[in-house]
Structure 1
Amino acid sequence: MAELLVVRHAQASFGSDNYDRLSDLGRQQSALAGEALRNMGWVPDRLITGALERQKQTLQAMGFSEAPEVHAGWNEYDFHDLLRVRFGGTIPDPVQHDRKTHFRTLRETLREWQAGGVAGARESWDEFRSRVEAARAFATETDARRVLVVSSGGAIGQLVAASLNTPPEQMIALNLQVKNTSMTRFIFTTRAFFLHEFNATPHFAPPEHAEMLTYS
């Protein structure tokens, strides 16, 4: 059986004009994640990212210089768009810059989106689910035995939820648990796909690295 290892991108630039780039801490997190894989002897024979800069930057900072394949199905849902639509075009400042307010509001917005609301958003909930499934198929229809993907929390949450056949709302809970540079592992064959490990961060286990753990 082959392995699909999906890593969430490292810490991005929350609250800035351009979220889609790594912070300095994010680059350090990525380096530790790459080192952890090498220490485990886990060498990928296929590299994939979504189309987002923070995903590509994470893979590069992990120490993989080889150009990855890119599949936009691994991208995050556009939470800025969902929030703008919900609030009539302008995201309130506390939602944009205060973490607790942001994630509470995002949770509410995702529930509404899953129920068919947030009309006018660029992507519907069903479209999001379909593209994540297309990304999974792209990554696993392969002769490669170790596939490394760098993706985002929402796509990872949906992939896990679908693999476990959970209700849609469970994706939200999973999404908001996914840590930056965490590793979620699946086992796959031509006929099977199942979860093996969720949200692991062995690179933050040493006490000197514990404070580097982040969620956004």
Structure 2
Amino acid sequence: MAELLVVRHAQASFGAENYDQLSELGHRQSVIAGETLRRMGWVPDRLVTGTLARQKQTLQSMGFKEEPDEHPGWNEYDFHDLLRVRFGGTIPGPVQNDRKTHFRTLRDTLRDWQAGGVVGARETWAAFKSRVEAAKVFATGTEAKRVLVISSGGAIGQLVAASLDAPPEQMIALNLQVKNTSMTRFIFTPRAFFLHEFNATPHFAPPEHAALLTYS
């Protein structure tokens, strides 16, 4: 059996004009995540990312310099687009800049999206599910025994929910739990795919690293 280790990107630039860049803290999170994997003796023989800058920067700061394979199915759903559509084109300031308001509103928006609402968004819920499944097939269609993927919270939440045959709303709960640089592990064969570990952060267990844990 082979392992698929899916790591959520490190902290991005919440509230900034360009969200798709790691913060300084995000780079620090990535460094210690990579160091922890190497201390554990877990060395990947295939690297995969989506196409987002924050995913690629996470992989680089983790210390893996080889050029990764790419699949856009590992990208996050476009939450900015979903929120813009919900609010008629302009995201209110508190939703954009206040974390509690943002995530409460995002949760409600995702429920509506899953139910067929947020009409006019660039991507439907069905299309999102399909591309995450395609990304899984792409990553696991390999002779590699240890595949490291850098992805995003929504894609990870959907991958876990699908592997458990959970209802759509469970994806939202999983998505909003996923910590920056957390590690979610799956076991796979040509005929099987199952969850082994969810949202683990061994690199934040030492007291000197505990304050580095973030969710966005």
Aligned AA (1:97)? N
Which position in structure 1 is the counterpart of 2:175? 175
Which position in structure 2 is the counterpart of 1:164? 164
- Whole-Å separation in 1 of the counterparts to 2:204 and 2:104: 26
Offset of 1:20 from its aligned partner?
0.2
Which position in structure 2 is the counterpart of 1:90? 90
Which digits, 9 at most, give the CA deviation of each residue in 1:42-62, with x for residues without a partner? Answer: 000000000000000000000
Which position in structure 2 is the counterpart of 1:120? 120
Gaps of 5+ in 2: none
Aligned AA (1:203)? H
Which position in structure 1 is the counterpart of 2:6? 6
Please state whether the residue corresponding to 2:184 is helix, strand or coil.
Answer: strand
- Whole-Å separation in 1 of the counterparts to 2:65 and 2:133: 27
Offset of 1:170 from its aligned partner?
0.1
Trace 1:136-155 onto structure 2 (pairs within 5 A): 136-155=136-155
Offset of 1:71 from its aligned partner?
0.4
Please state whether the residue corresponding to 2:186 is helix, strand or coil.
Answer: strand
Which position in structure 2 is the counterpart of 1:63? 63
Please state whether the residue corresponding to 1:43 is helix, strand or coil.
Answer: coil
- Whole-Å separation in 1 of the counterparts to 2:149 and 2:51: 12
TM-score (norm 1): 1.00
Please state whether the residue corresponding to 2:66 is helix, strand or coil.
Answer: coil
Please state whether the residue corresponding to 2:6 is helix, strand or coil.
Answer: strand
Offset of 1:171 from its aligned partner?
0.1
- The question of 1:203 aligning with 2:203 is answered yes
Please state whether the residue corresponding to 1:63 is helix, strand or coil.
Answer: coil
Offset of 1:195 from its aligned partner?
0.1
Which position in structure 1 is the counterpart of 2:28? 28
Please state whether the residue corresponding to 2:144 is helix, strand or coil.
Answer: coil
Offset of 1:200 from its aligned partner?
0.3
Which digits, 9 at most, give the CA deviation of each residue in 1:108-160, with x for residues without a partner? Answer: 00000000000000000000000000000000011000000000000000000
Which position in structure 1 is the counterpart of 2:39? 39
Please state whether the residue corresponding to 2:101 is helix, strand or coil.
Answer: helix
Aligned AA (2:183)? M
Offset of 1:77 from its aligned partner?
0.1
Gaps of 5+ in 1: none
- Whole-Å separation in 1 of the counterparts to 2:105 and 2:36: 34
Aligned AA (1:40)? M
Please state whether the residue corresponding to 2:196 is helix, strand or coil.
Answer: strand
Trace 1:106-117 onto structure 2 (pairs within 5 A): 106-117=106-117
- Whole-Å separation in 2 of the counterparts to 1:104 and 1:150: 25
The count of residues paired between Structure 1 and Structure 2 equals: 216
Aligned AA (1:197)? E
Offset of 1:178 from its aligned partner?
0.1
